[in-house]
Amino acid sequence: MLNYSTSEENYIKAIFHLQKQDGTVTTNELANELKTKPASVTDMMKKLKAKKLLNYQPYQGFRLNNDGTKVALGIIRRHRLWEYFLAEKLKFTWDEVHEVAEDLEHVSNKKLIDKLDEFLGFPRTDPHGDPIPDANGKIEISRKICITELPLHTVAIVSSVSDQSSEILELLEHKKITIGTKVEVKKKFDFDKSMEIRIGRQPVFTISDRLAQNIFVQSN
């Protein structure tokens, strides 16, 4: 396995997260995700294409190929194992781990990561509930859906939350929404797409669509 620069790895991982099922990722989407400029994205896409990690034709968007996906899963494995370590061993709160893991994930020594995995007891999910790929890059497919797609009056369990910004995580913590929380949608409003939800036996309260988009549940 070759080694990739921190910058290349950040692009590869971002593409992996953005490409859903069969669709392609656009230049602007990726630039927005990485807080960079479209011109920089185009440069990097040419480079990653030359390294045979993705399919890319000018103006047609891009998508990781098999090799690129393997690389992405390696980065995600490192990221999530470090997140687990930070939360479980170093007692970081779960909204702090992502930022630190964003750097640690780029130390790519296979032995280090496999020994870390063993030391942690081969955890299956990170502190946000996302599955951790194993040493061969195999990852559990999770049956999670966004809470916005959950039918009314159906109790589900929060299985993961977006980890993209610590602002969101701070809000979730304040609302006492965390992994494992039992939640039920009581009402949805078309006007602003906000929804009223209930956690356990607490009073019903409202969350914005923006927040709901970042909460994922396991319906069974």
Partner DNA sequence: TATTTAATTTAGATTTATCTAAACCTATTT
Partner DNA sequence: AAATAGGTTTAGATAAATCTAAATTAAATA
Site for DNA in 40-79 (CB under 7 A): 40-47, 56, 58-61
59's CB contacts (< 8 A; 6+ apart) are none
Select from Mn ion, DNA, its own copies, none the partner in contact with residue 116, using the beta carbon and a kind-dependent cut-off of 5 to 8 Å: its own copies
135's CB contacts (< 8 A; 6+ apart) are 77, 113, 114, 117
Site for its own copies in 50-69 (CB under 8 A): none
Select from DNA, Mn ion, its own copies, none the partner in contact with residue 163, using the beta carbon and a kind-dependent cut-off of 5 to 8 Å: Mn ion
Site for its own copies in 4-43 (CB under 8 A): none
Cβ pair 99, 170 in contact under 8 A: no
Q: Does 102 bind Mn ion (CB under 5 A)?
A: yes
Site for DNA in 187-206 (CB under 7 A): none
Task: Select the span of 20-28, 64-72, 133-141, 172-180 touching DNA (CB under 7 A).
Answer: 20-28
Binding mask 78-117 for its own copies (x = CB under 8 A): --------x--xxxx---x---x--xx--x-x-xx--xx-
Cβ pair 178, 163 in contact under 8 A: no
Site for Mn ion in 127-166 (CB under 5 A): 163
Tokens at 17, concatenated: 């997260």
For binding to its own copies (CB under 8 A), which residues are involved? 86, 89-92, 96, 100, 103-104, 107, 109, 111-112, 115-116, 118-119
For binding to DNA (CB under 7 A), which residues are involved? 5-8, 26-29, 35-47, 56, 58-61
